[in-house]
Amino acid sequence: MRIKNFKDLIKEVHKPGICQQCGGCVSFCNSIENDVIGMTEPNSPPKYINEEKCLECGICYLICPQTHILDDDLNKTYNFTNFSSMPLGFIDNIYSCQATDKEFLEIGTDGGVVNSLINYLLEKKLIDGAIVAKTKTAFSREAVIARNKKDLIEASGLKLDLSPQLNELQKFHTYTSSIPQLKQYKFKRLAVVGTPCQIYTIRCMQNLGIIPSQNIELCLGLFCYENFFFDQPRIEMFEKKFKLKFENIDRINIKEDLILKLKNRGATQKIIHIPFDSIKDYVRQACLACSDFTNIYADISFGGLGSMDKFTTVITRTKKGIDIIKKAINAGVIRTSKLDRANKMKMKEKISQFCQFKMKRFDNFMKNKLLTWNSQPLALEIDDD
């Protein structure tokens, strides 16, 4: 029986327009053989660079979040059985937290909790490094290993040859080639930060026992409703539509909507909330084909939704995740806002609502895709060679 490989991803995932551009296939493939496939253009699926070098091993096909081959295995490993009835995934506890370190709080997208936790784990020598994303050039991020506080701050900080606004946009640019970074750190214990599509591929690799995923001690997952594609023409369209200048944006954040904090002109900072419905033109089509909002396979998930400004919503899921959050709270690395049962229920309901929105959007998108995709079935039969 022929093993499905990258050619099948092209047929079944790229051509129907459902590639999430997570880069999982590229990241894995580059870790075994360089330049077979690559993300060569922004906002497009990966392509063959040197097709003749393809080993036809089929791992890219297995770990792709759009083939769903390993969903049942992952659901068993991560404690839940039916994603559609439980889109929040397994939840041990939910918190609203903030970094106690002023610098991490200041540079944090929300409460600076992710960086604080990584720093704590590094200081306690519970990990040797963390793969985080750093802005490289306009609309590209690179995976870098952070080994100390300085590295974490540098990765989160501004890149001087880019405008601060572009740096803010980069926060919501998905693809970072995290997995090839891992092979350089064999036998190290690493944490990885990623969006749901990125963590999914890592978990598939871990379930398959594929090197170098065994280096990953901890998956720190970010919530992700959608991701944007802003090139110059789109920036201009956006400025016109929302009657603002990009250069006046100080910070960008995503919670229930897109939040733009404008540069201070007077004593108070102007904050603009733009509903997701109004920014459909800027969302990467790939994200419409994605159903996981809360990063259900992560050890710990983090987002802004459900928490007040400058606090991060934290969901603990695995034993490792639970232990680390408890230790960090006890050590005073992060502080938690006091939440009673009713508050926690409210947070869960709000997050659950966004999970449902995302699943509904996914269902509609996939239905339309199936209807319009030349009436060809998505899953092709495996050819017997």
Q: Out of 174, 294, 307, 318, which residue is the one contacting ligand SF4 (CB under 6 A)? A: 174
Bridging pattern class, strands 140-146 and 129-137: antiparallel
**Could you tell me the two tokens for 271?**
């904050």
Inter-residue contact 194 to 178 (CB < 8 Å): yes
Paired with 260 in beta bridges are 252, 272
DSSP string across 119-151 = HHHHHTTS-SEEEEEEEEETTEEEEEEE-SHHH
Q: How far is the CB of 236 from ligand SF4 (least distance, A)?
A: 24
63 near ligand FAD (CB under 6 A) = no
Q: From its phi and psi, is residue 341 left (phi > 0), alpha (psi between -120 and 50) or beta? A: alpha
Give me the numbers of helices (H) and strands (E) for the chain, helices first please: 14, 13
The continuous run of DSSP H or E covering 316 comes out as: strand 312-316
172/294 Cα distance (integer angstroms): 15
Where do runs of H (alpha helix) occur along 290-340?
A: 319-330
193 near ligand FAD (CB under 6 A) = yes
Using CB under 6 A, count the residues that bind ligand SF4.
39
Residue 132 binding result from ligand FAD, ligand SF4, none, given CB thresholds of 5 to 8 Å by partner type: ligand FAD
Q: Out of 114, 122, 205, 328, which residue is the one contacting ligand FAD (CB under 6 A)? A: 114
Q: Out of 302, 321, 325, 361, which residue is the one contacting ligand FAD (CB under 6 A)? A: 302
Q: Out of 16, 23, 89, 221, which residue is the one contacting ligand SF4 (CB under 6 A)? A: 23
Where do runs of H (alpha helix) occur along the chain?
A: 6-9, 24-32, 59-63, 71-77, 102-107, 113-123, 149-156, 164-170, 178-183, 196-208, 232-241, 285-288, 319-330, 341-372
120 near ligand FAD (CB under 6 A) = no
Q: Out of 303, 317, 333, 365, which residue is the one contacting ligand FAD (CB under 6 A)? A: 303
129 near ligand FAD (CB under 6 A) = no
How big is the CA angle at 228 (ends 161 and 155), to the nearest 5 degrees?
A: 40
Residue 204 binding result from ligand SF4, ligand FAD, none, given CB thresholds of 5 to 8 Å by partner type: none
User: With CB under 6 A as the contact rule, which of the stretches 16-24, 104-112, 230-238, 364-372 interacts with ligand FAD?
Assistant: 104-112
Query: Rule CB under 6 A: which of 212-251 touch ligand FAD?
Result: 222-225, 227
Query: Rule CB under 6 A: which of 190-229 touch ligand SF4?
Result: 195-197, 201, 224, 226-227
274 near ligand SF4 (CB under 6 A) = no
The continuous run of DSSP H or E covering 249 comes out as: strand 249-254
Inter-residue contact 156 to 170 (CB < 8 Å): no
Q: Which is nearer to ligand SF4, 119 or 198 (CB)?
A: 198
Those residues with Cβ within 8 angstroms of residue 324's Cβ, 6 or more apart along the chain or in another chain: 117, 121, 126, 218, 299, 300
Q: How far is the CB of 66 from ligand SF4 (least distance, A)?
A: 5
133/329 Cα distance (integer angstroms): 25
Residue 55 binding result from ligand SF4, ligand FAD, none, given CB thresholds of 5 to 8 Å by partner type: ligand SF4
95 near ligand FAD (CB under 6 A) = no
Q: Out of 65, 180, 194, 196, which residue is the one contacting ligand FAD (CB under 6 A)? A: 194
Which residues of the chain form contacts with ligand FAD (CB under 6 A)?
A: 104, 108-115, 132-133, 152, 155-156, 171-172, 174, 176, 193-195, 222-225, 227, 254-255, 302-305, 312
Which residues of the chain form contacts with ligand SF4 (CB under 6 A)?
A: 5-6, 9, 13, 19-25, 28-29, 33, 36-37, 45-46, 54-60, 64-66, 174, 195-197, 201, 224, 226-227, 286-287, 290
